[in-house]
Structure 1
Amino acid sequence: MQCDSDEEWTQPFLDEEDPLPNQICPYATSSEISIKSMLEISSIDSDDVVLDLGCGDGRIVIYAAKHYGIRGIGLDINPELIKSANENAKKEGVDHLVLFKVQDFANESFDFKLSSIGLYNNNNNNDNNNKLIYPTILTCYLIPRALKVIESKVKKLIRDNDSESTNHKSIRIATIVYPFERWQHINDDNSLKIFLYTKDSIDIIPKSLDSSNPIFI
C-alpha cells in the first residue's frame, strides 16, 4: 500500500483466494509511512518486542529493528516470503535483531510466548529482554476474515497474560487498513487507516457493530 501524507488513502486490491493451504490472507505490502505511523501510535520504545502476524517480506519488523534498535519476529505461512524477509533483514544489517519463521499463527495450538516462538535463547540469561514473556507490540495487515480468525486468540492473550508480559509495559495491537470487527480501537490514524487496541479497550464493542448479529468474542 503506497500512500503519502498529502494523498487520499485508497484501499489496495486484495484477492480473496487462498494461494496456499491454511493461508487466511493474501499478500499485500504496506508503505513506509504507514509502518512509521503504526509504530508511533503504539508508543514504541527500546524496551518493546514486535510480533508481525502475516509479515510478508518482513518490512514492519525490519523497520522497527532499523529505526528503533528493537528485536522483532515476523510470521508468515508462505516460505518464499519468509526467505525474502531474511534476505531483506541481512541487507539492512538487522538480521541479528529479527527472527522470521514459517508459522500458521491462526492455528489453535499457536503459543504467543517468545520462548515458544524461538526469539530468545533460553540459555542467554544475561539478556535483559528475557524478562519479556510475550511480545509487547503485535502488528498485522490482514483482511477482515483473517482478523476474525485471530481476534479471540489475541483478546485471550491480553486478557489472561498482559500483566506478566513484562514488569512495566502492556501489550498493544496495531492493524493497518482493517480494524477488528468486534473490538473498539482506542486510538487511530484515520488518514492511513491504522487502528490501535489495548487492554483498556478489550471489552468495548464498536458502536457501528450490527446489532442483528450480537455474537461477541
Structure 2
Amino acid sequence: MTISLQLALIFLGVAIVVMGMLWIFIPVLSGLPWVPTHLKRIRKALELSALRPDEILYDLGAGDGRVLVQAARQYGARAVGIELSPTHCVLAWLRVLLSSVFNRVSIRWGNFYKMNLGEADVVFAYLTPAHAMRLRPQLESQLRTGSRVVTISANIEGWEPSAFDSGDLIFLYHMPPKPGSLVSFLAKEACPPSQE
C-alpha cells in the first residue's frame, strides 16, 4: 500500500469519526434531537399548509432533507432547509442532489434562531414545545401577514391554531396568529357558532 493511499484512508477514517461525533454532540448541545418525520406525516402537514407552486417553504432543522424534496416535488415550491448539524447538511444535500428537484431546493448550514425567516411563505418545524416557544417571537416579528407556520407535535402557546390534525399532531397557524390556544380552537370546533 502506498503512502498516499494510507494517508487517504487515515483522512477518511478521521472524517468519519468527526462526522459521527458531530451527529451525536450537536443534538445534545442544541437540545433538538434528529427525529425523522414519516413521509405520510410530511404529506399531511404540507397539505394542511396549502403550499402552492413557487411559494417559499423554510424547514427549520431540515435533517436529511425529506421535507424539502417533498415540498419541491409534490407542490412545486422553492424550499430552503436550515440545519445546524454539518452531518445532516451533507445528508440533506445528497438527498437533494439525487432528486429531480435540486434546482428548487437550497440547504443553509446554521442556527435557525439566528437567521431571518422573513421571505418564507410557509415555515415547517418539528420542535419540542420549549423550542417552539423560543421561536415564537422570531416568527411574530419576521413573518409577513398571510404566511403560515406548520408544526409537528408542538403547539405554540398563546396562539390559536387555524387547523389541527389530532391524529398526527400537526398544528397550522396563519400570521398574524390569533390569540388563544389549542383548547379555544377545539372548543370552537366542538361548538361552532349558530348561523341564524
With normalisation by structure 2, the TM-score equals 0.75
Q: Is residue 30 of structure 1 aligned with residue 37 of structure 2?
A: yes
* CA distance in 1 between partners of 2:79 and 2:92 (Å): 12
* CA distance in 1 between partners of 2:163 and 2:178 (Å): 15
Partner of 1:151, secondary structure, is: helix
Q: Which of structures 1 and 2 has the larger relative contact order (alpha carbons within 8 angstroms, sep 6+)?
A: 1
Q: Is residue 191 of structure 1 aligned with residue 183 of structure 2?
A: no
Partner of 2:32, secondary structure, is: coil
Q: Are the equivalent residues in 2 in contact too, given 1:72–1:98 (CA < 8 A)?
A: yes
CA shift digits 1:112-151 (9 cap, x unpaired):
24xxxxxxxxxxxxxxxxxxxx110100001112111111
* CA distance in 1 between partners of 2:182 and 2:125 (Å): 23
Displacement of 1:69 in angstroms is 2.0
Partner of 1:35, secondary structure, is: helix
Which of residues 145, 148, 151 in structure 1 aligns to 2:133? 148
Which of residues 152, 157, 182 in structure 1 aligns to 2:158? 182
Which structure shows the higher strand fraction?
2
Equivalent residue letter for 1:205? G
Q: Is residue 100 of structure 1 aligned with residue 107 of structure 2?
A: yes
Query: Any unmatched runs of 5+ in structure 2?
Result: 1-23, 185-196
Aligned ranges for residues 86-97 of structure 1 at < 5 Å? 86-97=93-104
CA shift digits 1:164-184 (9 cap, x unpaired):
xxxxxx200000122112212
* CA distance in 2 between partners of 1:174 and 1:88 (Å): 22
Displacement of 1:155 in angstroms is 1.4
Aligned length: 160
* CA distance in 1 between partners of 2:167 and 2:45 (Å): 12
Larger Rg computed on CA atoms: 2
* Shift >4 Å, 4+ stretches: none
Aligned-residue RMSD, C-alpha: 1.9
Which of residues 66, 75, 80 in structure 2 aligns to 1:68? 75
Q: Is residue 205 of structure 1 aligned with residue 180 of structure 2?
A: yes
Displacement of 1:106 in angstroms is 1.3
Q: Are the equivalent residues in 1 in contact too, given 2:126–2:154 (CA < 8 A)?
A: yes
* CA distance in 2 between partners of 1:106 and 1:45 (Å): 25
Equivalent residue letter for 1:178? A
Of 144-153 and 73-82, more deviation after overlay is shown by: 144-153
Q: Flag the 1:78–1:137 CA change in 2: closer, same or farther, 3 A.
A: same
Identity rate of aligned residues, in percent? Answer: 23
Aligned ranges for residues 8-27 of structure 1 at < 5 Å? 19-20=25-26, 23-27=30-34
Equivalent residue letter for 2:153? V
Which structure shows the higher helix fraction?
2
Equivalent residue letter for 1:173? V
